[in-house]
């Protein structure tokens, strides 16, 4: 066979099925996050931070505007703790929610 039509068609069908199955995943995850955001209380702590060159270290909570706008709230407590963080080059370290 010069053109493997059958196997190509099967592969395209598999990709379409996977795409359809994953289509709702982002919205479901987004809803779960927005329901939880408002009631989260947290503690973010780093004892020692060392950064060199263009490295970035961020400590704290960060939410998307979309998530904050739709939040309904479920109480939860989080603790994000690190004793020592060292970042070099162009790396980025994030400690928080």
Per-residue pLDDT of the chain (97 residues; tens, 9 = 90+): 555 666 777 777 777 777 666 666 667 666 666 666 555 667 888 888 888 888 888 887 776 666 556 655 545 677 888 889 899 999 988 888 7
User: Rounded to an integer, what is the distance from CA 71 to the centroid of its chain?
Assistant: 17
Quote the tokens at residue 10: 């099967």
CA dihedral 81, 84, 89, 90 (to 10 degrees): 10
Instruction: Report helix, strand or coil for 94.
Output: strand
* Residues 60 and 78: beta-carbon distance below 8 Å: no
Q: What pTM does this model have?
A: 0.45
Quote the tokens at residue 96: 């928080």
């Amino acid at each position: 066979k010069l053109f493997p039509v059958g196997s190509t068609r099967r592969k395209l069908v598999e990709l379409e099925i996977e795409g359809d199955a994953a289509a709702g995943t982002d919205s479901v995850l987004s809803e779960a996050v927005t329901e939880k955001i408002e009631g989260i209380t947290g503690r973010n702590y780093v004892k020692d931070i060392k950064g060199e060159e263009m490295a970035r270290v961020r400590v704290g909570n960060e939410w998307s505007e979309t998530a904050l706008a739709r939040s309904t709230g479920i109480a939860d407590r989080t603790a994000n703790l690190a004793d020592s963080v060292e970042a070099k080059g162009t790396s980025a370290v994030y400690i928080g929610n």
